[in-house]
A = this chain, B = another copy of it.
């Protein structure tokens, strides 16, 4: 995991109804137990009166044993403040499964970052509904599994995929232009743990062929959107978006070409934030910590 410290750290993501003293309470608790805070970002949604916080501290001198930290937070804070939290440790190295179809730009972008050491993540497997990109997986020495899907076998193939994902202890899934809609059953197994890239500036042009739709509408800017997948198609919490200017000169092929660069950068940005444990989902929206 990416961290600011060379020591092992704990990372806590919190949200609760805003209330006096919550920030002082948590930071004092960490200080008093000799947890050296190396990162703290917090904010309050004034409209809904919700407090959000991400705090990271070094464990070497922390007086509470690592395996009991969650218990302590549950006991001391969760009920008192009506607080929800998730806890991560920098020693955990997440395991990603990458789903692709035939286009290679997101695949290459992700694999090259991983290989260059930009990200601390294991990518033990690539899953596809086609064999086209197996040579790329081979080039990078990553296991490639093809689960071809048609109208009749989708449920069965998804069951196979889930079994494999569980077996390989996959933490989260990245859809790198995977051109298949995942079933609700599949999605519900990985809540806020499937990251998709949609090739439009959502909510504009949800669904199929967004570049064609953008050209038809005559927009002057196109975009790409990465989001967590929910059972509501193209409507999950948005993690990152970016855009690029186009003009009447641009053919659909040109939109596709320009869009590829957006897609890979926006998807990788989202994966990076996820790996950093900097995303908190609340009310189908994301809080992205600094």
Binding site for B on A (CB under 8 A): 4, 20-21, 23-24, 27-28, 31, 36-47, 52, 103-105, 108-109, 112-113, 115-116, 118, 136, 139-140, 201-205, 217-221, 223, 237-243, 245, 247-249, 251-252, 257, 260-261, 265, 268-269, 284-288, 290
Residues of B within 8 A of A285 (CB): 217-218, 248
How far is it, in angstroms, between the C-alpha of A169 and the C-alpha of B201 when the chains are bound?
41
Closest 9 CB pairs of A and B: A218-B285, A108-B112, A204-B204, A24-B27, A220-B241, A24-B28, A248-B287, A104-B116, A221-B241
Residues of B within 8 A of A113 (CB): 105
- Stoichiometry, as copies per complex, reads 4
How far is it, in angstroms, between the C-alpha of A28 and the C-alpha of B31 when the chains are bound?
13
Chosen A-B contacts, 14 in total, with CB atoms closer than 8 Å, are A23-B23, A24-B24, A24-B28, A28-B28, A40-B44, A108-B115, A108-B116, A109-B109, A202-B219, A203-B204, A203-B219, A219-B241, A221-B243, A265-B265
Most buried by B among A23, A45, A252: A23
Task: Contact check, B241 vs A43: say whether CB atoms are below 8 A apart.
Answer: no
Residues of B within 8 A of A31 (CB): 20-21, 24
Residues of B within 8 A of A105 (CB): 112-113, 116, 118
CB distance from A238 to the nearest CB of B (A): 5
CB distance from A212 to the nearest CB of B (A): 11
Majority SS of interface residues in chain A?
mixed
CB distance from A24 to the nearest CB of B (A): 4
Residues of B within 8 A of A219 (CB): 202-203, 238, 241
Q: Which residue of chain B lies nearest to A245 when distances are taken between CB atoms in the complex?
A: B245
Task: Contact check, B284 vs A4: say whether CB atoms are below 8 A apart.
Answer: no
CB distance from A279 to the nearest CB of B (A): 10
CB distance from A259 to the nearest CB of B (A): 12
How far is it, in angstroms, between the C-alpha of A247 and the C-alpha of B221 when the chains are bound?
17
How far is it, in angstroms, between the C-alpha of A251 and the C-alpha of B4 when the chains are bound?
11
Residues of B within 8 A of A43 (CB): 41, 248-249, 290
Question: Known pairs A40-B44, A43-B248. 5 more at Cβ < 8 A?
Answer: A52-B248, A202-B217, A204-B204, A220-B240, A248-B286
Residue in B52, B257, B265, B284 whose beta carbon sits within 8 Å of that of A118 in the complex: B257
Task: Contact check, A252 vs B47: say whether CB atoms are below 8 A apart.
Answer: yes
Residues of B within 8 A of A249 (CB): 43, 290
CB distance from A280 to the nearest CB of B (A): 9
How far is it, in angstroms, between the C-alpha of A23 and the C-alpha of B24 when the chains are bound?
7
